[in-house]
Amino acid sequence: MKKIKLTFVIVVSFLIVSCGFHLRGNQDLSNVLPEVSLQGTSKHSELGRELTRTLTAAKVNVFDSSATILKVTNDTFSKRVLSLDSAGRANQYELSYNLSFSLFKTVPGQKVAKNGEKEKLLQLVDLIPAQNITVKREYLFDANLVLAEADEERRFKADMLQEAMLQVTRRLNFSLKSRKKPAPKKNLEQQLKANEVESKNK
């Protein structure tokens, strides 16, 4: 009976992961970021597909063209040796994934030409300045199991990319909600002092 229950749990877990459902939970960004387009990466690349999937799960419409643009400026994996075995071969590595992005919006503006006529142009408004995300993993390497180790590295990279996507949505959510917060009001004591200083300067 216990074996049957264990097998059922494993199968259900596999199906959940295969369907792209993550127990970590998704952010709901629909109120702060209703739509966006991607720049700096193709929607058909691995990063583009993960960004599209993650943003869509966060209820953000990802279009080919939008006034709000998420720009990717860095998307790189790197690997370094952490330790060697007695034969001088690498037996432990550190994987690093670096992702940099920013969010801006294009708004219509006007420019006065030399002849006095107004020209229409688009102005860029920064919504979120450049953000840098770094995800790291360490793993042991067996030179006698090269194919198995290569598969493990691919799994690590996929997991690191998903972790980076989670950080992207968290930063988008926090930064955009912070922009919408009203400026804090002065308390009564601060207001009285400000009025007193203003009266003295008159």
Q: DSSP labels for 12-67?
A: HHHHHHHTT--TT-----TTT-SEEEEESS-TTSHHHHHHHHHHHHTT-EE-SS-S
Q: Check if the beta carbon of residue 76 is closer than 8 Å to that of residue 47.
A: no
122 CB-near residues (< 8 Å, 6+ apart)? 106, 107, 108, 109
Residue 48: what pLDDT? Answer: 96
Q: What per-residue confidence (pLDDT) applies to 85?
A: 85
CA-to-CA distance for 58 and 83, rounded, in angstroms?
Answer: 40
CA-CA distance, 64 to 43, in Å (whole number)? 9
Give the separation between CA 38 and CA 78, rounded to whole angstroms.
24
Please list the rounded mean pLDDT of every run of 10 residues in the chain (202 residues).
44 42 65 96 94 96 96 96 87 94 87 62 88 94 78 92 96 90 54 57 55
- Of the CA atoms within 13 Å of residue 35, those in its CB half-sphere come to 6
The domains of the chain are located at 28-181
In sequence order, what are the residues at sequence separation of 6 or more whose Cβ sits closer than 8 angstroms to the Cβ of residue 46? 161
pLDDT number for residue 146: 74
Task: Provide the residue count of the chain.
Answer: 202
pLDDT for the residue numbered 107:
87
Pick the CATH number of 28-181 from 3.30.470.10, 3.30.160.150, 3.40.367.20, 3.40.140.10: 3.30.160.150
* Rounded-to-integer distance, Cα 23 and Cα 57, Å: 13
**Please, how many CA atoms are within 13 Å of residue 155, restricted to the half-sphere of its CB?**
8
The answer to whether the CB of 66 falls within 8 A of the CB of 37 is yes
E strands present in the chain: 35-39, 61-62, 68-84, 90-112, 118-140
